[in-house]
Amino acid sequence: DIQMTQSPSSLSASVGDRVTITCQASQDISNYLNWYQQKPGKAPKLLIYDASNLETGVPSRFSGSGSGTKFTFTISSLQPEDIGTYYCQQYHNLPITFGQGTRLEIK
């Protein structure tokens, strides 16, 4: 199975800050990498697909980059509504696997 390792596991930032989350795959997954946001008590929401493509309707302050084994998710200017947990997910191989999540809080 492909292991997905996110860092940090939690972070606290101020409104307006640039926030970066990294995700490392245990083997080459090309660009078969998605990012999801999950707010408390809600279902996950797709934000970024294929490592760098913004899902329709998602604000442009969200972005993703990377390929192979190293990936980055960025919020260019943190907003209060961005609190939640963020997950990376690979779909290069079955089983589909997720990172352990990064909990984002506002300072």
Partner 1 sequence: EVQLVESGGGLVKPGGSLRLSCAASGFTFSSHTMNWVRQAPGKGLEWVSSISSTSSYIHHADSVKGRFTISRDNAKNSLYLQMNSLRAEDTAVYYCARDGILIPAAGLFDYWGQGSLVTVSS
Which residues would be at the binding site for partner 1 (CB under 8 A)? Answer: 32, 34, 36, 38, 42-46, 49-50, 55, 87, 89-91, 94-101
- Burial degree of 71 (CB within 10 A; 0-12, 13-18, 19+): buried
Q: How far is the CB of 96 from partner 1 (least distance, A)?
A: 4
Q: Which is nearer to partner 1, 76 or 100 (CB)?
A: 100
* Site of tokens 């294929």: 50
Q: Which is nearer to partner 1, 38 or 76 (CB)?
A: 38
Distance CA 48, CA 28 (A): 19
Q: Which is nearer to partner 1, 36 or 71 (CB)?
A: 36
Q: How far is the CB of 75 from partner 1 (least distance, A)?
A: 20
φ/ψ (deg, to 5) at 97: -130, 150
